[in-house]
Amino acid sequence: MKKWVIRLDLLDEEEAARLEEFFHAQQGRLGRFAFTDPWTGVRYPDCSFEDDTLALRYQGFMRTGATLVVRENRG
């Protein structure tokens, strides 16, 4: 099973809003989605968020950060 720890900084407000919307659509770690490994370009068709909480840190104008963990599901 693979996991990806994704640290995002310098998101603008629109990107942060899109990320939040996607997290809501998944309802935390309940939902399943496809994820493309940014290192290899390999697409993993069945993944989920690791956590039920998304914290968006608004540090300043166009300086929003968040840390996400995406995990590959088994079966």
Partner 1 sequence: MKFFPQLVTGSMAQYPLVKRAVYRTIWNTAMDGSDDRLGDAGAERLEWELRYEGLSREEQERLAAFHGEMEGRLKEFTFLDPTGNLLARSGEPEASVWEKSPLLTLATGIPDPAGGTEAFRLINTGPVEQSLQQVITAPGWFAYCWSVYARSAAATKVTLYWRSGTEENAKEFEVGPSWKRLVHSGKAESQETAVWFGVRLGPGMAVELYGMQAEAQPAPSPYRRTGLRGGIYEGARFDVDELIVAAVGPELHTCTVRIVTAGR
Which of residues 17 and 41 has its CB atom nearest to partner 1 in the complex?
17
SS3 state of residue 20: helix
Which of residues 37 and 63 has its CB atom nearest to partner 1 in the complex?
63
Number of residues near partner 1 (by CB under 8 A)? 29
According to CB under 8 A, which residues from 35 to 64 bind partner 1?
A: 52-63
Strand partners, 48: 71
SS3 state of residue 72: strand
Report the alpha-carbon distance of residue 54 to residue 10 in Å, rounded: 16
At 71, list the tokens: 């995990």
Q: Which residues bind partner 1 (CB under 8 A)?
A: 1, 12-14, 16-17, 20-21, 23-24, 27-30, 52-63, 73-75
